[in-house]
Structures are given as C-alpha cells and as structure tokens.
Amino acid sequence: MNAHAPGYRTFGPSDACDYLRHLGLFTANEPLECDEIGDGNLNLVFRVRGAGKSLIVKQALPYAKVVGENWPLSLDRARIEGEALLEAAKVVPAHVPKVHQLDPVLALTVMEDLSHLTIGRAALIQGRYLPLLGGHIGDYLARTLYATSHFALTPREAKALAARFVNPDLCNITEDLVFIDPYFDRPSNDFPEALRPTLERHWADQALKREVAELTRLFLCQGEALIHGDLHTGSLFVSESDTRVIDPEFAYYGPMAFDIGAFWANLILSSLSHRGHGLENEARRAYRHFLYDTLETSWRHFERGMREQLAAGSVDPFAKVEGYFDAQLERWFSESIGFAGCKAFRRIVGLAHVADIESIQDPAIRLEVKEDALELAANLIKRRGEFAGVEALRAYLESAIDDRQGDNR
C-alpha cells in the first residue's frame, strides 16, 4: 500500500495530531482529540480538536473501495484537490474551506473544519430551506469558471493551468460510471430487476445514446475551464447562511456546464425523492418549489456573475463582439441541461446512487421515483437545446415532476 509513492504512509489518529503539532497549528503540549470521520472508501478524514479550534486532515488512500475491489487510484488526486481548493479560494474564499497545508508526498490536505455545517444532500433530504444556496452556488460557478477560462486567462496561462490538472484516473471514473456504463448492460451497473424493462427501452433509444455520445465527447475534448468535476450536493457543506464547496479531487480542464449540470441533477433528484419522504402534500409541493427556485437562482447568479466579470474586462479580444457572449451563455445553458440529465441517469442505474432516493422506505414508491427520474433524465439529455431559458426549463420541471407527485397542486 505504501509502495505507491516514496514517503507516503497512511496516517492513524496520532499521526494526524503529531503532524499538526509539527506544523505549529497546535502547540506541543495542547491536549488534542482526534476522530477518523471519513467514509473510508477513498480517503482518511481526521478531525483534530484542540483547546480553541479544530482542523481537518484529509489523506488520500491509494485505492477506491467504492469503485471496485482494490481499484488503484492515483495519490496525485490529493494534490489536485488541494490545488483546486486554492484556485477557488482566489476568487470565492467565502465558498470553500480554508486550506492550511498541502502535502503532496503524504497526499494530504489540512483544512478548516466545517463540522458546524451540514452536508447539502442531508439537508435536502431533511427538507431544510436554504435560501442562499442557489445564489451561492451560482456565484461560485461564475467566479471559478470565468477565472480559469479563456475570458480571464491568456492561452499560455490556461495551458499551464490545464497541465497542472491533468487527472486521468479520476476522469476515467466519470467517463465509465457517468457516461458509458449506465447506457449499456454492464456489470458495474446497479439497479433493481424491476427497472430492467424501462432500462432496455432507454438502452435501445438511439437518439438518447447519440446525445449522450455528444456530451461524452464534450467531457473528453472540451477544455474550457478548471471545473470541480463532481459538484453534487454531497460535495457541499451548507447552512441557512453559509455554503462551502468541498472535495474537488475530480478537478480538470473540462466543460464548464458539467459543474452546473451536476448541481442541477441533484436538485432534480431531490425534488423527485420527496414523494417518498415524510412531508405532507402542501409542504412537499412548497419544498419542490424551493428546489426549482434554487436551480433557477443558481443560473441567474451564474449568468449575472459571468456578465459582470466580462464587463469588468477580458483578455479575449472577441469577448465583447456583438452576440458572442450571449451565444456562449446559450451553449452553457443547453449543455448544463444535458449534463444534468447524464448525472441524474447514472444515479439511478450506475454504481453510485443517492441517499435522497435510496432512503425512500416504500419499495413501490422508490421504484416509481426511479422510473420517473430516468424518463426525466432522458428527456433533458435529448431536448436540452429546446429550452428558451431558465423559466422554460423550470416550467418543464414543474410540470414533469408535479404531475407525478400525486399531491394537491
């Protein structure tokens, strides 16, 4: 295990404490309490509490149990994650954890403890209202994506940054588990047998596969900006007033819309899932509309943020040519819808599911929600170019989802 990189060894709790003391982040004699709080699949996560503060030590493991028995995984992802957090901190320090130390040899990052916040997915399952979430994520997307795009960087600068974020191992997981496996009958897929007839129909849908192929091509070939690469609601820490984006280990130079679509897919899956959770009809409907609001607001903030930064200046001499930026926004919008469809589809069929839906107790409702999610995802992928704007997308989601919810409308 430790042969993967010279100097690498996996930490235990006392190693984490010693390391932080050595860095001077805690004093030599301060009593420390350390818990390993990671899920143990990809990373070790230690929370170290001293007298006045607590810190997180996140260390990458050289394999990925979640993906398959002993799937080896580059430790370089820890460097990529840490450096991506630092890049984001340059433009949205309020929306990422503060990084205290990167250690590429030990493949670890020391960062701010955000345990006072809740994981976004858990908050949405609980039906919590997060009035600032959509705006915060829209701002995060606008700032991080613009700052690393050809609007803000010269081609030389962009090439240098892209070279630092070549990420074949993690991109390969996305290529296989998001874009390929769910559209074929492959062993890595994971779905109830009752879903098979529906899946056979989708797998035979050449129009669907053609559009997924095109979105896959964008994921492979369109290096537009340094993207987070895995911006689902489980990669967020949230509260009513705070939003932090964590875990950018999938970061690479890719299509901007992939991040936007990932966030939207998880809002959409959440809005479908509440049919199987505890909310009463009216409350359920209201909560779904909060989720649609969040999606709509995220786009509006993204668009406004992008336009503001463009107005403030761009290194691209064509940036202000009449209609050019509008065309880019239209493209990002339709690509985002397509990627949202892909990210939703894989969560039903592929290896990694979402607790929003898996935690539905009633098996019949759970199955129906999965059917609905697949249908909606396939439509978003195929019809992504048909939506005139975010109001039209929202109206479509309202109608497609509300119709299937069986509540009072």
Interface residues toward its own copies, by CB under 8 A: 150, 155-156, 158-160, 163, 166, 168, 171-172, 175, 180, 183-184, 206, 209-210, 212-214, 216-217, 220-224, 316-318, 321-324, 327-328
Write down the least CB distance from residue 102 to its own copies, Å: 22
| Cβ contact 260:182 at 8 Å | no
CB-based contact 274:152 (threshold 8 Å): no
Tokens 């409907």 appear where?
A: 285
- The phi, psi pair for 237, rounded to 5°, reads -105, 130
Tell the smallest beta-carbon distance from residue 336 to its own copies (Å): 16
Task: Provide CB contacts within 8 A for 176, sequence distance 6+.
Answer: 188
CB burial of 204-224 (b: ≥16 within 10 Å; e: otherwise) equals ebeebbebbeebbebbeebbb
Contact 138, 298 (CB under 8 A): yes
φ/ψ of residue 345, rounded to 5: -55, -45
Pick the closer one to its own copies by CB: 321 or 388: 321
Which stretch of DSSP H or E encloses residue 141? helix 133-147
Shortest separation between residue 406's beta carbon and its own copies, angstroms:
36
Q: How far is the CB of 161 from its own copies (least distance, A)?
A: 11
Residue (144 or 216) nearer to its own copies, CB? 216
The answer to whether residues 378 and 211 touch, using CB atoms and an 8 Å cutoff, is: no
Alpha carbon distance 160, 50 (integer Å): 39
Q: Could you tell me which of 2, 102, 100 has the C-alpha nearest to residue 53?
A: 100
- Cβ proximity to its own copies: between 327 and 364 the closer is 327
Sign of CA dihedral 379, 384, 385, 387: positive
CB 23 within 8 A of CB 110: yes
Least separation, in Å, of the C-beta of 219 and its own copies?
A: 9
CB of 131 to its own copies, least distance (A): 35
| Pick 183 or 258: Cβ nearer its own copies | 183
Dihedral angle, C-alpha 59, 61, 65, 70, nearest 10 °? 180
CB of 152 to its own copies, least distance (A): 13
Q: Which is nearer to its own copies, 220 or 283 (CB)?
A: 220
For its own copies, the closer of residues 168 and 192 by Cβ is: 168
What does the alpha-carbon distance between residue 263 and residue 405 come to, in Å, rounded to a whole number? 22
Residue (150 or 285) nearer to its own copies, CB: 150
CB 110 within 8 A of CB 90: no
263 within 8 A of 171, measured Cβ to Cβ: no
Give CA–CA dist 233/123, Å, rounded.
9
Q: Give the nearer residue to its own copies in terms of CB position, either 329 or 355.
A: 329
Name which of 99 and 170 has its Cβ closer to its own copies.
170
Taking the complex as a whole, how short is the minimal distance between the CB of residue 223 and its own copies, in angstroms? 5
Query: Measured from the CB of residue 48, what is the shortest distance to its own copies in angstroms?
Result: 36
CB of 355 to its own copies, least distance (A): 29
Strand partners for 391: none
CA 88 vs CA 24, 248, 320, 399: distances in Å: 25, 10, 25, 36
CB nearer to its own copies: give 138 or 255: 255
